[in-house]
Each structure stands twice: as structure tokens, then as C-alpha cells.
Structure 1
């Protein structure tokens, strides 16, 4: 009997230990639902909102964007004071005061970087209230510092990124930014030596002991690859941590035959870091990372020892109407569109963008230039202090992302002082003291590893092709836009506001017509080819991926190769054609052979038909009669992998154009366009780009109403007014309604709050058959 009792006691003891270990691990709970919000200065008119949230839904073209104070508050419960409680805000625009139970506890300046509030000293067991006073006023001490009326983008107010309530034990792994440790805080993993056989690096784990007793700790790290294979690493010995003190544990990481992260096969590892005290797990931190080798040498840029010309784009993070308040899924969809356009690189102009977007770049194999906030403004005093802190915060937040290869610690197009540039580079190198960290600046300054001018900052026709300063390399950070629009206008963008050469500019809305959209594509193609001639050019990024709003101008900046609703223009397919047809990407992405006819083939179309393709040959048919089969014209001055092909038809004849792509004599792909008939009906669709609508949190997706003929061909000059209605409580329509079609497509934004039940959207337009779409 005694043995039985002893066994039972032992089992209870083991179960208790397991329970203790289980509940000891941190919790990270979404804290975005059911906030109260008001813009009322008396803070009496509250409405319930969910995060991400914008303080003001704007019109499609933002003029006199709302700026001001707003307030958020939320009740929450704390089960026990034995735990640490933190609120983690991914992004609030752009000055925030935090109150706990009406007591001011924290201030943050900066709309693009996260901050953590340790609320433990201020909460009580049971019910508590957190309140935020938020403003997005012009503020010369908060980077980028420039007032909206002179800025090339907008400061959309509100709590526009995720918020989390994090609970840990008093002995815990810190947050990298909140810890404020140079080259430390949180979890940092870096591989100093990488090849196909082995990766050698170090893991640093920062631990804080906020308990009232001295403790001993050990740390275990587990790396799990995409196939589930695990490798375990441990700290060499127990480490003493005094009460109210902190310590950093360092672990050697040695990975045999690593699965390398790359642009075509972006292998990711899950890193689990467990913190133990007295043999019991007291905290666990999990993240994803990748193993890759990057180098900029005299011969160019190398990824995993393979030379790569970096082909990329620029991206602003805004959506129409809701500004910056977009979901993690919407961030992912943007990344998918960038990859599908043929790009393997994105410059995050001109500020730190969301963690979700960087995660998507990690997952999809998109190289990243990470940027601090800056655009044509340089301040002194507190501005400099805040900018320097942003560099530290950016490095600490993003250092484990394999996608980040270049750090733009430069205030874009701003007259930076030598002292600023020196200090900015010094700070980044302090935070990331590794050999493969590369800084970039728009000024040709020796403090930076890489010179990243815009193409228009050089002189035509060579621009930067003859740039040479020893082994110093150049990446053209913006191109394809200004040198055609304003004949190398430089920075004086408003001077050319009345320029009438509409057909020459690369700034074309999607409804600008076939001729002008083709010119935009030709502009990008010509500039791309020219950049390839640069003696020291390792890559480039076009301006830009998506159309966007500008604070200083009452129109959309329309250099995007897709419009603000993410609908592609012809130029999108030029870039897609530059991807190797043999490259195979993840199923969620488009890859392989492609061919695209850049014509609407209506009465206004040119009989000279442009086709973009990455195939060896293209055959063009009109009404099933072969027009010609030809290869792209190549010559000494043509360095593009796949130049556009122009077929010269004698005249327009209505019907169907069909292009067939051939590789090594075999047909591998085709594309058709048909002359549209009379507008007859509407067709509804919505875009998820490989990421289904979130059923637990707010999400935003585009809903498209196409105006088509009876055969489903889009009427590309249709501008009919389309009215959208919705049936279902789980979502709402955001945007102008009725909405005029642009180039045959009317778009509205669908915001879902918690899509547990289907919603039905109906589109109607005078004289057209109604369309109905159910979203589950």
C-alpha cells in the first residue's frame, strides 16, 4: 500500500511539474479587439473598433488628410500579479501617450517602429484600463519630420498595426527593443560562416530577473527545418542572474548541411529558445529565421556564393481609404504581387514597414532594403536623437530576418550632415557587429558601403552607368520615372506640375489608355536595359510597385506598375517577362514560361502589337491566322534577358489575338485578347493572392466588378457607375459607392472583422446584368 501511495504521490509530483512547466511559458494574446475610440476632444463620443484601425477613412485621392488627436481605451483583466504583463504595439502613428488606470506610464515618438510597455507595476489583479492618446500632427522632431503638405506620402493616424498582451514569468527573455541593449536584448541569431556543408554562428539570449530572488538559468535552443528535422543546442553551464538584474547567454550554433535561404527556395528554420531555472522551463520564445550567405565584393553581389543582379521595386505600405490600417494577410498579398511581378527585391521606401510584410518576404524569397524614416528633411537636436534611436530599434526588430540584406540608414533625398552620416553608420555597426552588414545612403559618402542614388539624380543619357570609385558599388534605388516625366527634374517636383507631355511620362493611371500605358512600360524597359550597362551597378529598384497618395499633391502618384487597387498595368508584365522561365517558385506564386499581349485590341489600338515573354520565340495569330513567329531583337546595346517583341500588323481587324510562347521549339504557354463587344454584364471577384481571409481578426481585400461583354471580355474604356451592396454582419464595404469603373473595373475595399459567417456582395449598374458574389 505504501508503495502504491508513493507511486501516486510521485505521479502527482511529476504532473505538477509538467503543469508548472506548461503554464510557465509565455502567452502572447491578440489585444486588438473591442477598443473604444474617439476623436472628440472631450473624449465622450466613443465607438467600438478593432485593430488595425485608422483614425480617419479618407477619400480615394487624399487632399487635406485628417490630422489631430484621438483616443483609444480598453478594459482588460489581470489574473495574478505573480506574472509580468507587457503591451506590445507594432505601430501607432505617430506620437503616443499610454495611461494605465488613468496614470501616465509611457510615451513613444515614432509612427513606424514598435514599442513595449511594461504594465506590471501599474495593474491590479482583476479589471484594469489602458488608454492611449495618439496624434499624427506634423512634428519636426519625429522622423521623417516633414509636414504633410510638403511630403511625398501621408501620416495616416491611428493604431494601425497589431497590439499584443504578453505575459511571462518574472524571469524571462526580454523584448529586443524594450531592453535597449547595444547589440543585445531579446534573441539574436547570426551565422558568421555559411556554405553548403556547414553554418557556424552564435545565438545571444538576453534574460532579465525581475523577481526578488537570485536565480540560476540554462538556455536551450532548437532549430527545426522545413522537413521537421531538429538540432538542439544548450548553454555550456548554468548562469547566475541576481535579482533585479539581467544577463546575456551566448550559445554556439553549428548546423551541418544547412538548408539555405534563397530567392527561389527560401528555406526557413523555426527557432525555439527555452529558458530554464532549477530544471523547469520558465519561458519560451519562438521565431523563424533563415541561413544564407551574402557578400558585396569587387565582382558584385553574391547570395550563397552565386552572383545575382538585384532586380527589385519600391513599395509604400498604404491601401486606399484605410491608409496604413491593413491586416497581416494584406501585407502578405502585397509581397505575393511583388514576387509575381518578377521582382526578387524590395526597397521599403521610406520608413520601417510592418513585421508581417518582412515575414512574407522571408517566406517568399524577397530580398529587402530596410529603411529608416526620411524624405527631403533634415533636422537638428531632438530630431537627430529620435532618428538615431530609430536606427537602433530597426536593427533590433529586424536583425533575424534572412530577407534583410541592406540597411538604408540614410534620410532619403535629405541634406544630411557628415556628422549624421558617420553617427548613423556607427550606430548600426554597433548594433549589428558582423562582417556581412551593408549600409546604404543616397549621398555618395564613404561612411556607406553602398551608394543608392535615384536614376534621375544623374545626367542623361548615361546617368550612373559610368560611376566608378574603385570597388565601391552602386544600386539604383529609383528609376523609370522622373527622367522621362520632367527631363531630369531633380528634386523640384512641383515646378513641372503643368507639363503637358502626357504621353512621355511614366506616371500613368490605369485608365490612361493603351498608348500611354505602353509608353510607361517602354520607359521602364529602356531604363532597366540602361542600368544593366552600369560598370559598378549591382542592382536596381524601379519606382514603383503600386500607385499611392502624396501629401503635397492632390492626385495619385501613378508611376506604379499596378494601380492603387493592385490591378496590373502593362509594365507589370514586362517585369514578369524578365524572370527565367526555368525558375520554379512556390505554388502560391506565378513562375515558369509566360507570354502577355500588351494590347486591348479595339478600334483605338495600334496595329503594332507589343508582346512580353520570357520564351525563346513567340508566334502571334489574328483570328487563328499566323501573323508572324519571331524572336526578340537582340544587339550589342540590348542587355535584357527578354526584350519586348513588336509584331507589325498592317491594320486593325476585330477579333482575337493569340500569342504562343515556344522554348526549344516546343509550345509552352499562350495568351489571348479579344476585341470587346457591347457592355452586357458585371463580373465580381475578390483577391486573396494565396492568403485566405482571416476568420479571427480584421482583414481587408479588394473586390473587383468587371464590366464585360457577353463573352466576358472586359470593356477597357468603360466608366460605368457601379453600386455595391453587402448582406452580412461580419464585414463592411469601404470606399466610394457607387464607384465609377476605371478602365472597365470598379473596385471597392471589403473589411472583415471576424469572418465566421458568409457575406454576399452584389454589384449593379444601369443596363448591365447584376453580379452576385458570396465570400465564405
Structure 2
């Protein structure tokens, strides 16, 4: 359906024709379509969806009352088994249409936002066609087949790796791709009701952004269908205030091109102030409004050059991370709220760019990046290899569909139209470059290159993105050493550290503190080198989150390169990112060690190089209240990092309470305490949201942490946690949870049941620590 991202102003019931959106699933007591509003906002459409009532069968498994988003096979947080999902599955649901107004006729479209990896829907006995590909929408017009009552929708889903579509490699094992692709209808399924003629393909492009006197918005769209006396009006809105407008008529093919000028007072979209506006387009028949479409507009310029990256004319060194959309237990089948939370987590780590590796991700995540001010590099699905002619045709289709879906997001600054780490293919990548230019010439293109292709001349895209895993020996440690930028392209480091160029292959909380600390040191080295070279646009570390995988350096089916774990909790490696923020916005004091003196977690194992990341000019350290050390930033090793770490020596310390005071000049910015006494340890529970929607789809995260008395992480505590849930909710996660095996930190997700309003209480019982609980309200408006 449409890519709306702010709720449009309503038109009158008489004037509009009352078109809306239905999300499939049956709850008779709840309205399915809001006929009184001109177009249901895409975000509201998802957040108000009704997705229960599905039946899923396959591989001798039958589940009734399934809620979307859904994965066909429940998994743990590790040891995923592709045999449990790689096969044929069948989804079934029934739905009625609500009574339609009598003053018009309508067209109906069924949309699947994401399904892994191929679907063939059948509505009322009519096969709608097969769509192959797991990461972009499939839409079918069903006007001829849908009826007022008792519609039966059957969806045959092929979850096998043999589907000949990127990133799959038919004929080879599924672990030849780096990430597991857990099958299912893992995004929303919706029904859109449209008039006989409606607006589509809306594209709003700011022009002359940095010149207030010439600043305009170029608007293109298309009218699908015919109607008498068509006319289109476009308006740029700040809230409900109209900043400018224009009217025109479609050409003979239904195409519309117009523009809005006089925009001298608009604010620019910046990382710290991501101001967005809304472009509203209304289709009229004579004087009667018929259909409305809207899209976000952010006024910004983003240019990658051989002299660095420039946002709105100002040079910015990118500090970023890669993101997989995969979660424990359910794969990618998480609702919009949880997808948006990932963006919030990355923003809190001061990430200026995220790479959607290696496929287009949920639109809710992109909307959150728009709103929070995170630059996005979005790429078409692919990983490491090219397929046959059919496979390459899907690459071209994916590039087209990705750009058409997402080109109005101001956060997106790069299109990945050369697939990740694939060999050169002049014909294919000339085509994808041409498609990008035709559909959105306002953004540059790229494609991530690996290893031996560093010197290639067969690169057709605009920005040379390099996955840099070269390393060097520094004081006996393996640390990243970035290659020199190529001189004939803008240069962006799109992966580094990972499991390849840092001091270890695994960064788990159960690993020795030297490895965990080394991850933070390695990421600091990457961003120091990127910032030191004015030709480099910046660097994206690999990776944001740990993820399930059967490929390469994985342990028990999990890859551990994330600076955050699968549960979205920061590891020691996240400290370098957390500290890169102005202390006037947030004071950060993050040691890249645990205040512990037992075995492999002992801080003394780090010798005189125990790093503390803080956005301060000076640190004062105290042991049991007595002065211990005064530290200055390590500018010898990190002269270009905005906030360099501090280097401490605890090799002769055996316990006590640590206090770290952070100063800027004579001003105390903040203080943190850490206890070595395990007697005060506790089990802490927290929920991301105090209230979620009771629609059976909405969910929120509940985090379990073993901490010291001051809330600092304690990785070495043994024991499993048993969870108890009371109330109208469902637990997504392992229970009991072996907390010792994840280093004292884990999470589950809780979702409500359709239409069940009330309070859910989640309790946690540990064999050694006091019990704890948290409550979440299941409401109808959250």
C-alpha cells in the first residue's frame, strides 16, 4: 500500500468516498475499516491492525489462532535448525468485508509486506500468482474475487532455500548465506480499499535545499484508473499548516509532475534536529475529492565525495553500525513497535548511520530513523554470490521495488544497488544503476566490496563501499588496520572488526574480559583511523547486533560480532559508541571492563590498559572513597576520535568500591559507582514499554540483568531464571532461561492477546537472588 508516514487531515464523509485499510484477521467486535478518514496512515494502519485468526500447517505441525507477524517454527536464542522451517507451509484465514458506502464502487488490493521466501495466495479458489523474494512487498488486486462475507484466503508458503531468488543459492546448503532466514508471514498482511481511480507512486524531492530563495519540492505521482475531470492538488504541510501548494491535471497516461516553491522558511533535516514535513496529494473529480496520498519530506542534502561526507553542506565523519533485523525466538517476525525500538537503541549509541544489511528492512524501522535522525544505507537482498539469469531478473526487480517503496524517507542517503560482496557483473550492475537513476536520481548509489576486489576498476556505482577486515599487530593484539581510500571514488568503510579483524572471533559476555575489552578497543581503532583520513566518509562497524547464523565463526548457531547482543543489550564493545556524544546532551561513563576480580572476568587481566570511555575532559577515580588516580583522554592513540577513552591500571587492585567522577574543566559532569561485593547483587527486570496494544501482534521487550548494588553488569553469576506470566499476555522466549550462559543478561518479549484488555505481570525467580517482577498494561490505544 502507500508509504504514508504521518496521519492526513480528514475530509468530510460525503466528500471523500471513505477509503481505508483492513489488516487481515477476524475479531468481530472490532471495526475493520475506518470509512470516515480519507486514507489510514500507514503507521496507524499497522499499529491498529487485526492480525489474529490464522491457521498454519506444514511439516506435521498445525497451529490455530496465529497472529501476524509470524514465523512458522518457534526457535530458541541459539541452535536454530533450518530443517524445522525449510519446507512448504500453508496459512489460512477467513474474513468479511465491512458494509461499504453506497455512493461508489471500489477496488481491493491484498498486500503482503514480507514473506520468506515465496508465497502463492489463493482467494476464494482463485490463485493470485506466485511472488518470490522475502524482503519486499507483494501486492495483488483482488477486486474480481473478493466478496462481502466468508472470504477464504489460503497462502502456500515455500520456506525452502531452493527458491531461486536473492540471497538464496539453490543447490547449495542454506548455511552458505551468512544469516538464517526463518520462514513465515513475518510482516503484516493488509487489505486496501481504493476508489476506481487513485493516486500511486508519489515521490517528493526537495530541490535547491541550501538556497532559501530557490528552494522547492518537485512532486511526481501517477493516477491509476480513469475518472471524469481529474485534477490533483499537492500541499506541503507542517502539522496541519499549509506551507505551499500547487494544482495540475494528469497527462494522458495519468502521470503528474508539479512543484511547490516559496519555501524559504522551512527547517533542514539534521541529525540532531530531524525536522520532517508532509506532502499531501489529493485527487479530485471536478470539485469532489476522491483519494488522498501522503509522504514525508525532509529538506537535506547528502553528498559523498572524495573529500568526505557532507550533510547540508557541512562535513560529517560517519560513525555507524550494520543492522540485521533478526531477533531470537521469532526471526524477523517482530511488530512495528519492536522494529522502531532498534532505531532508538542505535540512536542512544550515537550512531549517525545504519546499514540495512543485507536487505530492505521493516518500514517502521525506517520511519523511526527519519524521526530520530539516523542516516540509512539501504541495499537490495544479496550476499556474496550471484545466481542464474532468473535470479538476476529478481535483482533488478528488487532494486526497483526497494526504491519505489522507500524513496520518500529522508533518512535514506545511499541505495545499495550492487549486492553485498558479489563479483563484478557489468551488465547487471549497469542495469541496477540505471534503474536507480530513473526512479530516484536524488541519491547516490553504492555496493559493498570485499578483500581482493579492493583494486577493481569494474565498479559502476557512485560511492566505493569497502568491507575492510585487514588487521595489524599492536602490542601483541590483532587490531584493525584500514586500507587507504581509492582516489577515484568517494570512500566509505561499510564493515570492520566483526569476527575477522579484531582480537577475537567471539565477543560473548562469557568470554574472557580481554576479548570483550578488545572489541571496544578494536572499534575505537576503526573510527580513529576513519576520522584521521579526510578522504574517508566514515566507517560502519560490524555489527550492531549478534545474530543467528550457520556460517563461519559461529558458536551454537550464533554469530557474536555485535556491540549489542541478540537481546539488544550493550556489550563492553558498545562503550566507544555510547561515549561519542556532547556531554551537554548526555553524560557517559562506560568502562570496557567489569569491576570484578574473579577468574577470566578480573579487571586485573587488562594490565595497565583498562579503558574507560567517557565524554569528559578528565576522570577522577576513587577506591573505597580514597583517591586512586586522575586520568586524561588517551590522545596518543586516539587523537581524532571525538571523545577518546581513558586508560587505567588496576593490575594491583584486589577489590573495593570504585567511584568514577567525570569533569569538564572544574565542572563535575557526573559520577558512577561499581561494587566488587557480590553480596549486594540483584536480578533486575525492566520493560521497554509500560503499555502495549492488546491486538495479539504488538509486543515489548522485558530485559533480565544481573547487576551489582549500583546497577553495573555482573557477568559471572550462575543459575537459570524461571519466568512467571500472569494476565492476558504471551511470553516469547525460553523459560526457564539459562542466564549464566548469556553472561547475566537476556530478554524475552511479551505480547498481548487479541481484545484482552488488562495487566500482565511478569515475575522472575533466580535460585540465589531475590525475585523481581514488572507489569505491562494491555490496552486498546497504546
Range of TM-score over shorter length: 0.7 to 0.9
- Aligned residue-pair number: 713
Tell me, what secondary structure is at the counterpart of 1:667?
strand
* Separation of aligned partners in 2, 1:636 and 1:155: 41
More deviation in 280-289 or 713-722? Answer: 713-722
TM-aligned CA distance change 1:570 to 1:463, over 3 Å: closer
Residue in 2 aligned with 1:571?
573
* Separation of aligned partners in 2, 1:592 and 1:366: 18
* Separation of aligned partners in 2, 1:457 and 1:714: 32
Residue in 1 aligned with 2:139?
116
TM-aligned CA distance change 1:60 to 1:770, over 3 Å: same
**Is 1:724 equivalent to 2:723 in the alignment?**
yes
* Separation of aligned partners in 1, 2:676 and 2:570: 19
TM-aligned CA distance change 1:23 to 1:596, over 3 Å: closer
TM-aligned CA distance change 1:475 to 1:16, over 3 Å: closer
Residue in 1 aligned with 2:290?
282
**Is 1:40 equivalent to 2:58 in the alignment?**
yes
Task: Measure how far apart 1:680 and its partner are.
Answer: 6.3
* Separation of aligned partners in 1, 2:492 and 2:750: 38
**Is 1:338 equivalent to 2:349 in the alignment?**
no
TM-aligned CA distance change 1:72 to 1:295, over 3 Å: same
Asked whether the 8 Å contact 2:731–2:748 carries over to 1, the reply is no
Task: Measure how far apart 1:380 and its partner are.
Answer: 1.8
Residue in 2 aligned with 1:522?
521
Tell me, what secondary structure is at the counterpart of 1:39?
strand
Task: Measure how far apart 1:733 and its partner are.
Answer: 4.0
**TM-score, normalised by the number of residues in structure 2:** 0.86
Asked whether the 8 Å contact 2:763–2:774 carries over to 1, the reply is yes
* Residue of 69, 77, 80 corresponding to 1:60: 77
* Residue of 433, 436, 441 corresponding to 1:433: 441
* Separation of aligned partners in 1, 2:86 and 2:123: 25
* Residue of 168, 171, 182 corresponding to 2:194: 168
* Separation of aligned partners in 1, 2:195 and 2:422: 45
Task: Measure how far apart 1:769 and its partner are.
Answer: 2.5
More deviation in 710-719 or 637-646? Answer: 710-719
Task: Measure how far apart 1:305 and its partner are.
Answer: 1.0
Tell me, what secondary structure is at the counterpart of 1:347?
strand
Indicate the RMSD between aligned Cα atoms, in angstroms: 2.7
* Separation of aligned partners in 2, 1:131 and 1:682: 46
Task: Measure how far apart 1:120 and its partner are.
Answer: 0.6
* Separation of aligned partners in 2, 1:738 and 1:480: 30
Task: Give the 5 Å matches for 1:466-481.
Answer: 466-470=484-488, 472-481=489-498
* Residue of 465, 488, 508 corresponding to 1:452: 465
Asked whether the 8 Å contact 1:73–1:131 carries over to 2, the reply is yes
Asked whether the 8 Å contact 1:599–1:673 carries over to 2, the reply is no
**Is 1:699 equivalent to 2:698 in the alignment?**
yes
Residue in 2 aligned with 1:157?
183
Asked whether the 8 Å contact 2:52–2:696 carries over to 1, the reply is no
More deviation in 30-39 or 315-324? Answer: 30-39
Task: Measure how far apart 1:415 and its partner are.
Answer: 1.9
TM-aligned CA distance change 1:466 to 1:598, over 3 Å: closer
**TM-score, normalised by the number of residues in structure 1:** 0.86
TM-aligned CA distance change 1:270 to 1:324, over 3 Å: same
Deviations 1:493-535 (A, max 9, x none): xxxxxxxxxxx31521122243321111112112222233345
* Separation of aligned partners in 1, 2:493 and 2:153: 45
Residue in 1 aligned with 2:221?
205
* Separation of aligned partners in 2, 1:293 and 1:15: 38
Tell me, what secondary structure is at the counterpart of 2:347?
helix
More deviation in 757-766 or 194-203? Answer: 194-203
Q: Which has the larger radius of gyration?
A: 1
Residue in 2 aligned with 1:51?
68
TM-aligned CA distance change 1:106 to 1:252, over 3 Å: farther
* Separation of aligned partners in 2, 1:481 and 1:170: 52
Tell me, what secondary structure is at the counterpart of 1:362?
helix
Asked whether the 8 Å contact 2:621–2:659 carries over to 1, the reply is yes
Residue in 2 aligned with 1:303?
311
Task: Give the 5 Å matches for 1:150-549.
Answer: 150-174=176-200, 186-195=201-210, 197-198=212-213, 199-209=215-225, 214-225=227-238, 228-236=240-248, 238-239=249-250, 246-434=254-442, 436-442=443-449, 444=456, 445-456=458-469, 463-470=481-488, 472-484=489-501, 504-505=503-504, 507-534=506-533, 536-549=535-548
* Separation of aligned partners in 2, 1:380 and 1:100: 32
* Residue of 554, 558, 561 corresponding to 2:560: 558
More deviation in 534-543 or 741-750? Answer: 741-750
* Separation of aligned partners in 2, 1:693 and 1:139: 38
Gaps of at least 5 residues in structure 1 are 1-13, 175-185, 486-503, 583-590
Tell me, what secondary structure is at the counterpart of 1:106?
coil
Gaps of at least 5 residues in structure 2 are 1-10, 19-34, 474-478, 778-782
